[in-house]
Copies of this chain bind each other. A is one copy, B any other.
Amino acid sequence: MKTIGQLLDTYPVDLGHVDRKALEACIEQCFECAQACTACADACLSEQEVAQMVKCIRTDLDCADMCETAGRVLSRHTGYDANVTRATLEACAAVCKACADECERHTAHQHCQICAQACRRCETACRELIAALG
């Protein structure tokens, strides 16, 4: 998603309040994780033992929604409010952690492993951006 960086580069005012690199990485991970969790929830639905996947599906759905919201909040810079950004990142990191923990348990399903990795990358990116907010 090279447009993330291009749009940060062409922003009409200075983005002085944020670590540009950590911000770009976090936006990218949020959108990638939102898609991965949506796809993983659906792959779980198509598994023969779907009854064993219901908690995984539910957590995937929560994580897709929260990552999408975080990705949108982070894509906005007008009228920046550190409290909003921090609260959003804390929630996103918590939901990504819960989803990674759950997906990692399903070692037989490759889609869960791929999704778990996307969740961990997003959790890490959120925590690094929180740290960068100071």
A interface with B by C-beta (< 8 Å): 1, 3-4, 6-8, 10-13, 27, 31-32, 34-36, 38-43, 45-48, 50-51, 54-59, 61-62, 64-66, 68-69, 71-73, 75-79, 81, 83-84, 87-88, 90-91, 94-95, 98, 102, 109-111, 114-115, 118
Contact between B95 and A84, CB atoms less than 8 A apart: yes
Main secondary structure of the interface of A (DSSP, over half): helix
Contact between A111 and B35, CB atoms less than 8 A apart: no
A47 vs B111: C-alpha distance when bound (angstroms): 24
Determine how close the nearest CB of chain B comes to the CB of A70; give it in whole angstroms.
9
Please indicate the chain B residues that have their CB under 8 angstroms from the CB of A35 in the complex. 1, 3-4, 27, 31, 71, 75
Please indicate the chain B residues that have their CB under 8 angstroms from the CB of A45 in the complex. 54, 57-58, 78
Please indicate the chain B residues that have their CB under 8 angstroms from the CB of A57 in the complex. 45, 57, 78
Please indicate the chain B residues that have their CB under 8 angstroms from the CB of A48 in the complex. 12
A85 vs B112: C-alpha distance when bound (angstroms): 22
Determine how close the nearest CB of chain B comes to the CB of A57; give it in whole angstroms.
6
Please indicate the chain B residues that have their CB under 8 angstroms from the CB of A81 in the complex. 59, 98
Determine how close the nearest CB of chain B comes to the CB of A77; give it in whole angstroms.
6
